[in-house]
């Protein structure tokens, strides 16, 4: 079965996580993604946090599957010549170098357009063009702080906190993938390429939209009724950290289950949703609250939220997180166990759906990765191992028209 992006050739000039996450997604859906790496070392993540000697690290293998690897020293004239040929024959170039690196290499956006007017050039930077921090190099947590996520995550009496989810890196890559596909649609109509740029700060902020909502409500009202600070504590003029409060008008909290004293993940997330109040009371054996004016409306419950949570935790105290969810699901109460990475890795449903995939690798043995989170009715997404460094160098060079002899010369000159 042909895959939707077959025939699209992508120069993958990306490294670490933000760019590779984007190009990996496009490779899964059929694009020919050629990862350009520095000879000898390659993407820095090949070496970062290795757990098997001389084998690429999981950091690399989990972000670069289904790609081909071409080693190229783009600081040599031969390397620049190869890249020039590649640009002329490709549809998309994706990069996430530090600010100005591509210009210094001699491949500014103007030069790329001269070489190939149909080229879509997609870039990740820490901050957008013209931003007062545009010169900064940026990693994941830097972006989470600059994008508003850290100041609004964690508990009110603790410091700003970053999320374990890669809001700065992989999230920016996903935004970039949407931008590339949009530009490809446009190119189908006009024949012209364009530059697509996503800053990590902007991509984080896009996910913090509801916190900007809250800032404006706070400015207008002076309080935020769904935050744990309300009504017993005061608010300043900035959106506070709300711990595990539900963000969308449905009160909720992470609640202790049986065994929480020795298992740091014996918790469930429980939503005290308005329409589910009656079933919640029935589930926890507090039927008298159903018609009690002190409890029966969301407004009446507001100042007793933590007493209600303590009551629910009492009910949970002899149930594991899985037993509790199995009971609560029958009452249509939105909830889930707090799952560990070990539990996720072993989850049968995630394996069956192709979200957790076991991949064979020539040097690493078998490893787990996260497969396509997007499911298609007409396409099965096969996850293939990431390439070894330079595995496809000769293959790509000969596709570009280089003779076997010239390829040997390029190797001898250490240009590839």
Single out the residue of 9, 84, 101, 327 in contact with ligand CAO (rule: CB under 6 A). Answer: 101
What tokens were used for 281?
Answer: 């009371």
Using CB under 6 A as the binding rule, whether residue 202 contacts ligand CAO is answered as no
Longest dimension (CA), the chain: 87
Give the CA-trace dihedral at 410, 79, 170, 203, to 10 degrees.
-170
The H or E element containing residue 279 is helix 277-283
Q: How far is the CB of 47 from ligand CAO (least distance, A)?
A: 13
- The helix (run of H) or strand (run of E) holding residue 370 is strand 365-370
Q: Record the tokens describing residue 387, joined without a space.
A: 């390439």
Residue 384 contacts residue 392 (beta carbons within 8 Å): no
How far apart are the C-alpha atoms of 196 and 261, rounded to whole Å?
A: 50
Q: Is 387 exposed, middle or buried (0-12, 13-18, 19+ CB in 10 A)?
A: buried
Closest distance of CB 243 from ligand CAO, Å: 27
Q: Per CB under 6 A, which region of 94-102, 202-210, 302-310, 318-326 contacts ligand CAO?
A: 94-102
| Residues of span 126-145 touching ligand CAO by CB under 6 A | 126, 137-140
Asked if residue 146 lies in contact with residue 127, where contact means CB atoms within 8 angstroms, the answer is: yes
Counting contacts by CB under 6 A, is residue 104 touching ligand CAO? yes
- Quote the CA–CA distance of 401 and 407 in Å, as a whole number: 10
Work out whether 24 is an interface residue with ligand CAO (CB under 6 A).
no
Among 74, 116, 372, 386, binds ligand CAO (CB under 6 A): 74
Catalytic entry in 73, 169, 202, 214:
169
Whether residue 43 lies in the annotated active site: no
Task: Compute the least distance from the CB of residue 194 to ligand CAO, in Å.
Answer: 20
Q: Name the minimum Å distance from CB 98 to ligand CAO.
A: 3
Residue 66: phi, psi to the nearest 5? 65, 15
Tokens of 212: 């900007």
Q: Using CB under 6 A, which of 12, 32, 169, 202 touches ligand CAO?
A: 169
CA distances from 334 to 22, 187, 271, 272, 288 (A): 32, 43, 6, 8, 22
Q: How far apart are CA 350 and CA 215, in angstroms?
A: 37
Minimal distance, residue 42 CB to ligand CAO, in Å: 9
Nearer to ligand CAO, 197 or 368 (CB): 197
Q: Is 18 in the site for ligand CAO (CB under 6 A)?
A: yes
The separation between CA 212 and the C-alpha centre of its own chain, rounded to angstroms, equals 21
When the beta carbons of 86 and 312 are compared against ligand CAO, the nearer one is 86
Q: Which CB, 38 or 258, lies closer to ligand CAO?
A: 38
Number of residues that bind ligand CAO (CB under 6 A): 25
Residues 30-69 that bind ligand CAO (CB under 6 A): 36-38
Of 8, 10, 16, 305, which lies in the binding site for ligand CAO, with binding defined by CB under 6 A?
16
- Residue from the set 4, 7, 40, 98 that interacts with ligand CAO by CB under 6 A: 98
Q: Does 173 bind ligand CAO (CB under 6 A)?
A: no
Shortest separation between residue 126's beta carbon and ligand CAO, angstroms: 5
Does 75 interact with ligand CAO (rule: CB under 6 A)? yes
Dist CA 52 CA 365 (whole Å) = 9
Q: Verify binding: residue 174, ligand CAO, rule CB under 6 A.
A: no
- Is 331 a binder of ligand CAO (CB under 6 A)? no
The answer to whether 241 and 160 are in contact (CB under 8 A) is yes
Q: Residue 231: is the preceding peptide bond cis (ω within 30°)? A: yes
User: Are the C-beta atoms of residues 167 and 144 closer than 8 Å to each other?
Assistant: yes
Q: Where are the beta strands (DSSP E) in 300-364?
A: 335-337, 356-361
Interface residue with ligand CAO among 17, 64, 90, 152 (CB under 6 A) is 17
| x/- track of binding to ligand CAO for residues 348-387 (CB under 6 A) | ----------------------------------------
Mind telling me the catalytic residues? 169
Residues of this chain that bind ligand CAO (CB under 6 A):
16-19, 36-38, 72-75, 96-98, 101, 104-105, 124-126, 137-140, 169
């Amino acid at each position: 079965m042909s895959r939707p992006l077959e025939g699209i050739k992508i120069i993958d000039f990306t490294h670490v996580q933000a760019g590779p996450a984007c190009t990996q997604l496009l490779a899964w859906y059929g694009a020919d993604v050629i990862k350009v790496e520095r000879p000898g070392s390659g993407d820095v993540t090949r070496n970062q946090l290795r757990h098997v000697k001389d084998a690429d690290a999981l950091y690399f293998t989990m972000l670069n599957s289904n790609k081909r690897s071409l080693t190229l020293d783009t600081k040599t004239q031969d390397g620049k010549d190869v890249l020039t040929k590649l640009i002329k024959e490709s549809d998309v170039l994706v990069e996430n170098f530090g600010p100005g690196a591509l210009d210094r290499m001699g491949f500014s956006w103007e030069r790329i357009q001269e070489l190939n007017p149909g080229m879509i050039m997609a870039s990740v930077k820490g901050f957008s063009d013209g931003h007062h921090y545009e010169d900064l190099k940026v990693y994941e947590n830097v972006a989470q702080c600059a994008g508003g996520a850290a100041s609004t995550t964690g508990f009110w009496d603790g410091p700003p906190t970053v999320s374990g989810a890669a809001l700065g890196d992989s999230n920016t890559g996903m935004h970039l993938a949407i931008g590339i596909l949009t530009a490809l649609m446009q190119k189908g109509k006009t024949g012209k390429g364009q530059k697509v740029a996503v800053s990590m700060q902007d991509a984080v902020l896009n996910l913090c939209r509801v916190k900007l909502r809250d800032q404006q409500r706070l400015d207008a009202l002076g309080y935020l009724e769904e935050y744990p600070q309300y009504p017993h504590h005061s608010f300043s003029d900035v959106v506070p950290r709300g711990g595990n409060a539900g963000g969308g008008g449905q009160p909720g909290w992470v609640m202790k289950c049986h065994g929480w004293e020795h298992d740091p993940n014996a918790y469930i997330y429980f939503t005290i949703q308005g329409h589910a109040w009656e079933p919640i009371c029935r589930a926890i054996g507090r039927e008298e609250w159903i018609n009690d004016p002190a409890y029966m409306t969301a407004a009446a419950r507001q100042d007793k939220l933590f007493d209600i949570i303590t009551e629910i935790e009492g009910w949970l105290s002899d149930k594991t997180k899985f037993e509790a969810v199995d009971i609560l699901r029958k009452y249509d109460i939105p909830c889930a166990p707090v799952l560990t990475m070990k539990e996720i890795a072993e989850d049968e449903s995630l394996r069956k759906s192709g979200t957790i995939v076991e991949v064979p690798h020539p040097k690493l043995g078998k490893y787990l990765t996260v497969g396509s989170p997007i499911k298609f009715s007409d396409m099965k997404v096969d996850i293939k191992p990431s390439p070894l460094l330079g595995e496809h160098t000769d293959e790509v060079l000969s596709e570009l028209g280089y003779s076997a002899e010239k390829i040997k010369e390029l190797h001898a000159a250490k240009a590839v």
